[in-house]
């Protein structure tokens, strides 16, 4: 099993979600995070003074999948979250030892 | 003769304001009752929200608490001795003790001196709301770092050593009353004192950790706007209530107050737009407050055209003053009390000499009116109040520091005053 | 001819309303119009925010909704029969139906009984705002668990069975009016009834899940402070509006109201500081409300010194009462309605006998004034109102439970009433 | 004896301010001063919060900023020419320039035409608060997508081309005044104009990205409720202030205003409950606003029973109109300005013919009163105002688009106007 | 060392925390997340229109443990977080290379 | 590739960020979390009653790096986030299978 962690632009969330559902992925967990990278932040103003906010709001998606879906999922995310501009985000792939569904106690593939 | 008597008797039962000067006028009283509510609204929730929104999340409650506690402490001190020392007796700097504990204030008593058509009880509380907001404005200077017990003690001392004498000097028959200084609703008594005190306190306390820097920004700008709105609405009571009657003076005071607020807001917004490329909502709200502070002393004497000019100067001068104090001089008058209120109030006091209507101003000054003469009187007034405020604010803050420590520790400052000083947090999920 | 001229000249200067007792006085009317706005402000947004901030995020809308719906429902019932049953007719407990649907209220009509210088239409709506806030105060007892339909039904029944008779008994010419009970602005009619009802309802409904426990804490303390500020400002209309005229009585009522609020706040804060080691902003705000509730019945009769004492007792007694009800007796009167309003209102009703000014109190009671006699009258009044409220609140809540279920299910309570009852959430990101 | 009689007769008629038309009445003045503060409170913070809570987090400041900037811009234009073109001169559509820069408004001047017992300065600012709120209401139509510079320009043009002529036509002695159209506080002048303009602007601008869809929901419903509460309280000044005196008319106006608000709220809530299965707090608040908008023109002529009916129609018709505009016609009048204000205001204007009290209405119309005749007059008035508003709103928005672009780009819309247009964010952690 | 990541229902948090403490686990990190899965979201209303919110608030617990505690911890969570209804959540188990305690610089088991 | 997860005290964030940038790390993702551990929480007050809040606000940093930067990064964090007092937090190191840059589709080291 793999855990796909994707950092995406917030306004792409809806699109990514729909693309994933279309690809048969019907479970995920979202977190609001702040990202720092090559994409520059923005300037804010306060009483005539400017200050830079260099972190940007991002959404982190965590999706647990069986190994064979890896390609589908990464491709779905890449195509639906991409704008071609800096800051589109990243996808990390990590291996997961096991997963348990709390409700039933099922483990492994059944639990996803 | 009988007929005449009858007429007189009938007339005697008439409760009209104008007929005998020293009778309650229900319309005037209605307006001052309302104005009192409006001026309280300025501090609670107005100023509390305005300041609370400007600080960081971890300090929001501390600021609300400071405003709230000041309101309560001042109210009690005003009853005990504040009112008496401000408005009774003929001393140059302080009044006397004839109304300590409000012992002189009868249930049916009429107000003394001016404001002759309202009850004295109402005069007491209307003035109390001014005494409340002035030290509450100083909160902006020491926000996010002062300890609560020190804050309480300092505010009580400051009320006693600065506000009360300033109030007596200008409004209560003291030195500046005699000189003929004109200050309708508190350009000197309220705004110059709190502004100058803010500078002194900010310098004694030193800057917040991280000042100057990008971390010290408002946590809740809608809260700032909301607070500003209550300041605007409440200021109608502040200035138009200071006309003491519900008549043409009040109407004109309200109109010019509003105009100056609007123009101050637009001017600040525009100045900021030029300087930074964007208009901001905190900017427009701050410019509005500057416009209000500046028109305050002049709102009894200028007309609509003068108000346009005052608003314009308020918005532009106070904007640049803010840049100067924080940007250039690096003084952490945290929420910009001096550049907005101090500069605004003093500017208004001086401008009114030139923008006032002749017939009205001469009431305040002696004999026939001359703008230059009045300007010099006003300037002397500013000198006295600024000097007095510098000295006694310094005494008040130093005295406080001898009794209890002024600032929270560095780590506590990082943690935030809400948790450290009050064991509470603003928002829960 | 001279005589005639004199008359005319005198007349020309007269602008007074009061020449014949039963005429509209524009100043009094202006003040009661304003007071009506202020008392509505107490419920919306004042109380709604005060209560809304005290509950958890998931229930904030349900509390706002309850306050809002009560305001609307009571307004309609007041028009249909509330006003008539409260203020028309001579029954001991209920009035009569002469003004059902406000059919008797003419466009030009003057107010009946007292308040002779304002229009009846204004009397109707000013009183309506009192009828609105009383059941809205009870919301604090059943917050975070009562179903919305049950809440609507119960509030309508409670208005009819408790508020209207209490109002008639004390203010409308009923039993307690006859006895000479003094209650200026609603120590019995408003605060005792809502406080006692809160206890009854809290006991019938049972505690919230997790009570007592650390999870039941305010989600938004700035909102609490904001609400408290509107209560303070609005209360000026509540108490000083109850003087019915814009004169010395209103001025003094406003002054003593303010003093009691300030002292109540400081006392509660200090008591808490002693007990827990820290002063809190929810504490100072709650003490302020206690000070206001306690002075309410007495604000027409005490002076500034009496107000200091009332505020002190309010802040300390209500603080300990709160500990008692929740800490010791473990009754989940969720937002502490009884210890603050019930205890405060009753305490004020009793204290006023000893703190009042002689000449004024004797108006209320028969013949010449004696504190002990008055105290006994007041005590009897408290007995009647408390007993009546216990019985009829119990009937109202039981009747409601026969028609529709009172509480949401356990899981729904975990989920929060906003989603379950209203399909809405307070805040979105 | 004759002399005596004469005296008595004179005395008997004295009570009223109006005995000599041209004198200030302090009670009336007190009430209009208060009303001015209340109407300003409606826009700031009332409407700003109501609208601000309804938009998404990323646009909250932009909406507050729009309301704030409109308030300031309109105030200045009102001083420069707005007041003069509205209330001076006899033109059918526009007034004249006699009071440009308020040059005609003397410090001691009395109000012209009606409102004869208050200062002209007060008349100017009371009317100014109406001129402020009207374009601010239109913000609801273009929220979340219009550029700030375009917004400023459009609002200034719209004030000049639509509000000022409408105000002059109906209230300032223009065409509709002559026809005898009755519109107490602005069913046509305020609500019909802003509602119709909202439709035009929404159609020209096109819908928000994501409309219709589930993402366009309120970010802060407690803020919406708070804003609604200030609208309710402030509306007392709007309608009862429009009675110009503190007497029976103001009392009745306040009473019927309140009743309509309450019934409108309950009706909308119930309609929604039926349709969707749940009552909501945004629903009850919106129904309340509909109730207020609908009673506005009628609040000088209907009684309590009429107000019950008006409130009921407001809550039900405006609810279904909202479904129609957004759901069926798919017009993104983002915050539902037309169905609530436009529909409500026009409905009120028409209904008043049938629900008014005879004696009063005939004052407005010529000779003796006939509901059908009046209805036709009202209908003609609606026709003129709607047509005028459609044409000139279209001209104003098109003219703006020639000078500066109306909408932010698509990506900027996603990012949110707060950052893009103002370089600020609403909330920080 | 293992990192246990559990997605649970928010109102179960208190219970789970207490069970973990009873099982000797005295360190963890919580995040507020939104979950999407088989459990349906809810309908919300806005001026007479209905819209579906299909993500649900969840709490993510991250607990770093030594390998031998794996079973205790997963069992404790499963039993305390379970309601038997859809949406109870999941537990992921991943392997961690190392852990460092910032305060002391300790690593491995000592740092947990 | 490694994923460094650091839980730190919020007021140290600025310092840690600057130290990381100085060390050449110019990408990371932040999450606001609540931590529970040896560091005690605080007491809060509500109308005279005290209650304990035993979780503390923490910041979680997630930093994806190539293996050779591991030591630099952990040392940088340890030194800049440390106060020497309980609650300074922890650093976890996990292995990541792969990383994808959404914008370009690059993978592995190039995508970081
Ligand atoms: N080394 C990293 N470790 C963790 N997160 C990163 C790293 N680099 C980038 N990110 C995340 O990815 C987001 C996008 O990265 P950025 O460098 O701005 O653009 P791009 O994805 O186009 O290369 C960042 O805002 C951050 O949240
Ligand atoms: N494939 C997945 N990847 C990541 N998180 C998931 C996945 N499936 C479910 N979840 C998380 O677990 C929660 C519960 O899952 P759900 O399918 O609703 O019920 P259950 O746990 O009973 O199967 C979801 O809200 C989501 O946060
Ligand atoms: N076993 C654990 N699993 C996950 N996170 C932990 C664990 N232990 C501690 N933490 C996180 O590290 C933070 C600091 O831990 P703590 O025990 O308080 O102090 P220290 O880091 O000095 O040992 C905690 O607040 C929590 O967020």
Please report the atom of ligand 1 found closest to the CA of residue F62: 4
Distance E89 CA to ligand 3 centre (A): 23
Using the beta-carbon criterion (under 8 Å), do A92 and F96 form an inter-chain contact? yes
Using the beta-carbon criterion (under 8 Å), do C286 and F51 form an inter-chain contact? no
* Chain C residues touching residue E14 (CB < 8 angstroms): 215
Torsion of CA A22, A24, A29, A34, to 10 degrees: -40
Confidence of residue F78 (pLDDT cuts 50, 70, 90): very high
**pTM, whole model, 2 decimals?**
0.95
Indicate the top mutation candidate among F58, F90, F91, F94 to test ligand 3's pocket, ranked by most ligand atoms within 8 A of CB.
F90
Using the beta-carbon criterion (under 8 Å), do D247 and C69 form an inter-chain contact? no
What DSSP assignment string belongs to C91-124?
-SS---STTGGGTT--TTPBPPSS-TTSBHHHHH
Which residues, 6+ apart, have CB-to-CB distance to D26 below 8 Å?
B17, B25, B26, B27, B28, B30, B31, B245, B246, B247, C15, C26, C27
Model pLDDT, residue D187 = 98
List the domain range (segments joined by +) for residue A40: 2-111
Residue whose C-alpha is closest to residue D394's, from D208, D141, D149, D203: D203
Which ligand ends up closest to the CA of A38? 1
Q: Report the percentage of chain D scoring pLDDT > 70.
A: 92
**Mean pLDDT computed over every residue of chain D:** 92
Q: Which other chains touch chain A, taking contact as 3+ CB pairs less than 8 Å apart?
A: B, D, E, F
Confidence of residue D15 (pLDDT cuts 50, 70, 90): very low
d(CA B174, CA B164) in angstroms, rounded, equals 11
Model pLDDT, residue E65 = 95
Model pLDDT, residue B19 = 36
Task: Find out whether the peptide bond into D45 is cis, omega within 30 degrees of 0.
Answer: yes
Please list the ranges in chain B whose pLDDT falls under 50.
1-21, 362-365
d(CA C389, CA C163) in angstroms, rounded, equals 9
| Direct distance between the N- and C-terminal alpha carbons of chain F, in angstroms, rounded to an integer | 9
Q: What is the pLDDT of residues C39-52, one digit of tens each?
A: 999 999 999 999 99
* Chain D residues touching residue B269 (CB < 8 angstroms): 69, 72
To the nearest 10 degrees (0 to 180), the angle between helices D248-276 and C60-77 is 130
Q: What is the pLDDT of residues E10-36, one digit of tens each?
A: 989 999 999 999 999 989 999 999 999
* Chain D residues touching residue A56 (CB < 8 angstroms): none
* Chain D residues touching residue B282 (CB < 8 angstroms): 424
CA distance C418 to chain E (A): 10
Using the beta-carbon criterion (under 8 Å), do D424 and A11 form an inter-chain contact? no
Q: What is the pLDDT of residues D269-317, one digit of tens each?
A: 999 999 999 999 999 999 999 999 999 999 999 999 999 999 999 999 9
Q: At which residue do the structure tokens 């009793």 appear?
A: C350
Please report the atom of ligand 3 found closest to the CA of residue E104: 22
Q: What is the pLDDT of residues D237-279, one digit of tens each?
A: 999 999 999 999 999 999 999 999 999 999 999 999 999 999 9
Q: Which other chains touch chain C, taking contact as 3+ CB pairs less than 8 Å apart?
A: B, D, E, F
Instruction: For chain C, give every domain's residue range.
Output: 25-405
- CATH number, residue E18: 3.30.70.120
Question: Nearest chain D Cα to A49, which residue?
Answer: D423
Indicate the top mutation candidate among A3, A27, A70, A72 to test ligand 2's pocket, ranked by most ligand atoms within 8 A of CB.
A27
Fold that domain B25-405 belongs to in CATH: Ammonium transporter fold (1.10.3430)
d(CA B295, CA B310) in angstroms, rounded, equals 7
Write out residues 271-290 of C within 8 Å (CB-CB) of F.
271-272, 275-276, 278, 280, 282-283, 286
What DSSP assignment string belongs to D371-400?
HHHHHHHHHHHHHHHHHHHHHHHHHHHHHH
Report residues whose beta carbon is within 6 angstroms of any ligand 3 atom: E 27-29, 62-64, 101, 103, 112; F 7, 35-39, 56, 58, 86-90
Confidence of residue F4 (pLDDT cuts 50, 70, 90): very high
Q: Is A43 on the interface with E (CB under 8 A)?
A: no
Model pLDDT, residue B239 = 98
Please report the atom of ligand 1 found closest to the CA of residue F104: 22
* Residue D361: both structure tokens together: 């209405």
Question: Nearest chain B Cα to D3, which residue?
Answer: B3
* Residue B307: both structure tokens together: 């108000």
Model pLDDT, residue D360 = 64
Per the structure, how many domains does chain A have? 1
Distance A76 CA to ligand 2 centre (A): 19
Q: Which helix (H) or strand (E) holds C68?
A: helix C60-77
Q: What is the pLDDT of residues D329-387, one digit of tens each?
A: 999 999 999 999 999 999 999 999 999 876 565 444 455 678 999 999 999 999 999 99
Report the nearest-CA residue for atom 21 of ligand 1.
A89
Distance E55 CA to ligand 2 centre (A): 10
Q: What is the pLDDT of residues B161-199, one digit of tens each?
A: 999 999 999 999 999 999 999 999 999 999 999 999 999
Using the beta-carbon criterion (under 8 Å), do E45 and C422 form an inter-chain contact? yes
Closest CB to D424: pick one of A11, A14, A45. A45
Please list the ranges in chain E whose pLDDT falls under 50.
none
Residue D138 pLDDT exceeds 70 = yes
Residue whose C-alpha is closest to residue D146's, from D212, D51, D222: D51
Question: Nearest chain B Cα to A48, which residue?
Answer: B272
Q: Is D332 on the interface with E (CB under 8 A)?
A: no
Please report the atom of ligand 1 found closest to the CA of residue F112: 1
Exposure on the CB side of residue D291, measured as CA atoms within 13 A: 33
Residue D55 pLDDT exceeds 50 = yes
Mean pLDDT score, D104-116: 82
Burial class (CB in 10 A: 0-12, 13-18, 19+), B363: exposed
Residues in chain B: 429
CA distances from C135 to C156, C196, C348 (A): 9, 12, 20
Report the nearest-CA residue for atom 6 of ligand 2.
A28
Residue whose C-alpha is closest to residue C189's, from C239, C233, C242, C130: C130
Q: What is the pLDDT of residues C199-218, one digit of tens each?
A: 999 999 999 999 998 889 99
Model pLDDT, residue D251 = 97
Residue C338 pLDDT exceeds 90 = yes
Q: What is the pLDDT of residues C350-407, one digit of tens each?
A: 999 999 876 565 444 455 678 999 999 999 999 999 999 999 999 999 999 999 999 9
Distance A89 CA to ligand 1 centre (A): 5
Residue C21 pLDDT exceeds 70 = no
């Amino acid at each position: 099993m793999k855990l796909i962690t994707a950092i995406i632009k917030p306004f792409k969330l809806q699109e990514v979600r729909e693309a994933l559902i279309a690809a048969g992925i019907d479970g995920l967990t979202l977190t609001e995070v702040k990202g720092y990278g090559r994409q520059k932040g923005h300037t804010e103003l306060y009483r005539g003074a400017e200050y830079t906010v260099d972190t940007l709001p991002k959404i982190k998606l965590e999706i647990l999948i069986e190994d064979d879906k890896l390609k589908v999922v990464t491709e779905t995310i890449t195509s639906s979250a991409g704008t071609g501009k800096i800051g589109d985000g990243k996808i990390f792939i990590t291996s997961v030892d096991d997963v348990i569904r709390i409700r039933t106690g099922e483990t492994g593939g059944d639990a996803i | 003769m009988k007929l005449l008597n009858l007429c007189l008797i009938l007339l005697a039962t008439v409760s009209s304001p104008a007929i005998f000067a020293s009778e309650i006028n229900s319309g005037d009283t209605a307006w001052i009752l309302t104005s009192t509510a409006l001026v309280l609204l300025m501090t609670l929730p107005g100023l509390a929200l305005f300041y609370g929104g400007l600080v960081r999340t971890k300090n929001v409650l501390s600021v609300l608490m400071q405003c709230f506690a000041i309101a309560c402490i001042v109210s009690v001190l005003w009853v005990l001795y504040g009112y008496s020392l401000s408005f009774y007796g003929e001393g140059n700097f302080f009044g006397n003790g004839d109304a300590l504990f409000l012992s002189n204030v009868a249930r049916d008593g009429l107000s003394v001196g001016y404001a002759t058509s309202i009850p004295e009880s109402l005069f007491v509380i209307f003035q109390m709301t001014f005494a409340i907001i002035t030290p509450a404005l100083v909160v902006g200077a020491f926000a996010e770092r002062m300890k609560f017990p020190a804050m309480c003690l300092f505010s009580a001392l400051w009320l006693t050593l600065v506000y009360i004498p300033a109030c007596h000097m200008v409004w209560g028959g003291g030195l500046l009353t005699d000189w003929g200084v004109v200050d309708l609703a508190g350009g000197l008594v309220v705004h110059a004192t709190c502004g100058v005190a803010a500078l002194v306190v900010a310098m004694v306390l030193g800057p917040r950790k991280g000042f100057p820097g990008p971390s010290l920004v408002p946590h809740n700008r809608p809260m700032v706007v909301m607070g500003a709105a209550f300041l605007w609405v409440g200021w109608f009571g502040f200035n138009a209530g200071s006309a003491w009657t519900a008549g043409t003076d009040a109407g004109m005071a309200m109109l010019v107050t509003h105009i100056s607020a609007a123009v101050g807001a637009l001017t600040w917004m525009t100045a900021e737009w030029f300087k930074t490329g964007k208009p901001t909502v905190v900017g427009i709200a701050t410019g509005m407050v500057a416009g209000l502070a500046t028109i305050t002393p002049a709102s009894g004497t200028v007309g609509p055209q003068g108000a346009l000019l005052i608003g314009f100067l308020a918005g532009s001068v106070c904007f640049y003053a803010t840049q100067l104090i924080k940007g250039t001089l690096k003084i952490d008058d945290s929420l910009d009390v001096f550049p907005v209120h101090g500069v605004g109030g003093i500017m208004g006091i001086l401008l009114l000499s030139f923008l006032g209507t002749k017939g009205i101003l001469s009431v305040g000054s002696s004999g026939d009116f001359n703008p230059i003469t009045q300007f010099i009187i006003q300037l002397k007034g500013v000198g006295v109040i600024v000097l007095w405020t510098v000295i006694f604010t310094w005494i008040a803050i130093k005295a406080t520091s001898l009794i209890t420590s002024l600032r929270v520790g560095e780590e506590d400052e990082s943690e935030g005053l809400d948790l450290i000083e009050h064991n509470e947090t603003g928002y829960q999920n």
